[in-house]
Amino acid sequence: MTEGDEAEPVAEDAGPPREGAGPMAEATTSAGEDPPALRRVMGPKLLLLFIIGDILGTGIYALVGQVAEEVGGAAWLPFLVAFAVAMVTAFSYLELVTKYPAAAGAALYAHKAFGIHFLTFMVTFVVMCSGITSASTASRAFASNLNEGFGLDLGNGGIVLIALAFMVLVAAVNFRGVGESVKVNVVLTLVELSGLLLVILIGVFAIAGGNADWGRVIAFDTPEDKGVFLAVTSATSLAFFAMVGFEDSVNMAEECHEPRRIFPKIMITGLTITGIIYVLVAICAVALVPVGPLAASETPLVEVVRAGAPGIPADAVLPFISMFAVANSALINMLMASRLLYGMANQAVLPKQLARVHPFRRTPWVAIIFTTLISFALITYVSLDDDSDVVSALGGTTSLLLLAVFTIVNIAVLVLRRDRVDADHFRAPPGLPVVGVITSAYLVLPFSGRDAIQYELAGLLLLLGLVLYGITLLLNRRLGVRTSTLDPAELDG
């Protein structure tokens, strides 16, 4: 909060101020008193379910076909490579979260490593944008599954309208004030997991009954303009969208019992479980459904269930499970995005109007509207491009943004190794952060085989961040308001 400003009301589900949270904490506690800390409610089991639930979702439900289109029947390989890249970066996150067990994530690590406030702002803004692109991807997947589940034939225009209406619904729930609950997350995770286990179970029975084509599983069928290596890296950059989410768990560090002790084992276990599930789902998908129909479908797992169990109405259930899974992803990501936007505006590094809180609902209503409008623009913009697949364009943009953040996080690990802390902490194996920098940076660069639309969308979002930052500087200068330094500890209230 800047000097001379009146205290803004705090969003209801932002939670209590964190220890040492600076000006916002001072505004809510008596002089000389320490602000209350977050309640430590998560043990190993709840943290494991949180990590698995955060990773599972839109990516695997919607993108198996697009990944197969890039590499052919060997669609499991990009998911395996994406798992390996995610695991390398997870080791860097583990070193940082056990060294600095605070709930601010990549913004905190960049802030401590480089101390450049503009860089901290851009990292935070990029993480926020990745939440919006992820939710936009989920909205398209939701609309496609609704269209399939109810047997409609709406066409692209109708699906776009449903996707936009879905984002309005997400915004309404967000405005009403949905506090994140680990108990609810357990239920949602089990529902998401049930859909994928259903696909694997049906796939195993179909394969055991001789109804699968194992030749497709090891066949590479790449586009004419790409060799095998480029096709695999291109597909990996898309499959990586299915692996993101593990990085969000570091924001729960202050709400975990003994985070330094439990985080390493639990994060590695959660990533491994999801990686195995993804590889098995991809193998079942390509073994049961030819690549062409799989890639052409916006509900690829429904096609897998239909092919593997034609006499069982499982394909009538899976679209609704998929809708539930992607709806959960959209809500979580839009909650995160609106709160990050609120936090940046509340620190006067974005226009203060974005930090307004509704007097009755106590939620950041302007930030909710603004992030929802961005999602509208993304969904509409990509849908108007006949040459782009909406889900792969938005999902690929999400992975592009987060891989850029992961590159910075891996560099931050190396920089912060000179910073000694008193407590014991996890240490990534020697050289692994360097591998993380190289692999993450490579998957960001154009020669990894990414579609141009992903760079176009990411560039537009970064330009928006720069414009908002510039407008804020001009407004603050005109009003005589000192632009606050960005404190990652305050971003989500």
Residues 62-88 have a mean pLDDT of: 92
Distance of alpha carbon 77 from alpha carbon 81, whole angstroms: 6
Is the confidence at residue 354, as pLDDT, over 80?
yes
> Is 0.75 surpassed by the pTM of this model?
yes
Q: Give pLDDT tens digits for 129-176.
A: 999 999 999 999 999 989 988 888 888 889 999 999 999 999 988 887
> Which residue in this structure is represented by tokens 């940046």?
344
- Token pair belonging to 124: 């935070």
Torsion of CA 455, 162, 79, 241, to 10 degrees: 40
Break the chain into its structural domains and give their ranges. 40-490
pLDDT > 90: percent of the chain: 37
Q: Give pLDDT tens digits for 461-474.
A: 999 999 999 998 88
* CA angle (352, 358, 361) in 5-degree steps: 145
Cβ-contact 139, 395 below 8 angstroms: no
Residues 6+ apart with CB under 8 A from 289: 300, 303, 304, 307
Residues 379-391 have a mean pLDDT of: 83
Residues 394-417 have a mean pLDDT of: 95
Torsion over CA: 282, 284, 65, 391 (sign): negative
Is the confidence at residue 15, as pLDDT, over 90?
no
Distance of alpha carbon 25 from alpha carbon 102, whole angstroms: 15
HSE-CB at 231 with a 13 A cutoff on CA atoms is: 21
Distance of alpha carbon 55 from alpha carbon 402, whole angstroms: 13
- Token pair belonging to 52: 């698995």
Residues 300-323 have a mean pLDDT of: 84
Q: Give pLDDT tens digits for 270-299.
A: 999 999 999 999 999 999 999 999 988 888
Report the mean per-residue pLDDT for the chain: 83
Is the confidence at residue 71, as pLDDT, over 80?
yes
The pLDDT value recorded for residue 289 is: 93
> Which residue in this structure is represented by tokens 């996150």?
93
Q: Kindly list the distances between the CA atom of residue 148 and the CA atoms of 59, 168, 300, 380, in Å, as whole numbers in the listed order.
A: 18, 21, 11, 21
The pLDDT value recorded for residue 285 is: 93
Is the confidence at residue 6, as pLDDT, over 60?
no
| 101 — pLDDT class (breaks 50, 70, 90) | confident
Q: What is the DSSP letter of 482?
A: P
Cβ-contact 139, 410 below 8 angstroms: no
Q: Give pLDDT tens digits for 174-197.
A: 887 654 445 555 677 788 888 899
Which residue in 42, 20, 331 sits closest to 174, CA to CA? Answer: 331
Is the confidence at residue 458, as pLDDT, over 90?
yes
**How far apart, in Å, do the first and last CA atoms of the chain sit?**
11
- Token pair belonging to 372: 């929802």
Residue 94 amino acid letter: L
Greatest CA separation found in the chain? Answer: 75
CATH no. for 40-490: 1.20.1740.10
The pLDDT value recorded for residue 344 is: 87
The pLDDT value recorded for residue 447 is: 83
The pLDDT value recorded for residue 19 is: 34
Residues 6+ apart with CB under 8 A from 228: 71, 220, 222
Which residue in 372, 409, 388 sits closest to 457, CA to CA? Answer: 388
| 12 — pLDDT class (breaks 50, 70, 90) | very low
Distance of alpha carbon 130 from alpha carbon 394, whole angstroms: 9
- Token pair belonging to 48: 């494991």
